Amino acid sequence: MLPDVLSRYARRACSMSLVKAADHCTWEEAASALDIPPVSGRAMANKVVSLLNALGTADRFDATLRDIVARVARRGSLVDYGMRRRALAGFTVIEWEEWREMCRGVGVHLAFRGGR
């Protein structure tokens, strides 16, 4: 288990590791691809890599990472989560009454809030 100070970096560092392994790029480029500031990304990666080395688990992590990259490559089309985040950045919550009226306008009648 990661110490509390590093646990918040682990997920991003793993994501950057996948991008780095799949695209054969630098930590900064991997961070940038995920909309993480490059300098912050490199710092996070360095902390997590140092911890993996200290725990003696770096080789196992690398092997698992290579396996994941190979599996993802076999799957074909990938989701661009960075693009999805950017596309939804300005998303506005629609109030229930407004949503119901919009649905009525296209012939969909909602029975009750939370219903199908």
pTM comes to 0.59
Domain of 32 in residue numbering reads as: 4-80
Domain count along the chain:
1
CA dihedral (10, 82, 64, 21) positive or negative: negative
| Within a domain: 51 | yes
Over residues 85-109, mean pLDDT? 88
CB 38 within 8 A of CB 31: yes
103: number of CA atoms within 13 Å, CB side? Answer: 14
113: number of CA atoms within 13 Å, CB side? Answer: 5
Q: Give 15-61 pLDDT, tens digit per residue.
A: 899 999 888 999 999 999 988 999 999 998 888 889 889 999 999 99
CA distance 106 to 84: 26
| Within a domain: 98 | no
| Within a domain: 113 | no
| Within a domain: 34 | yes
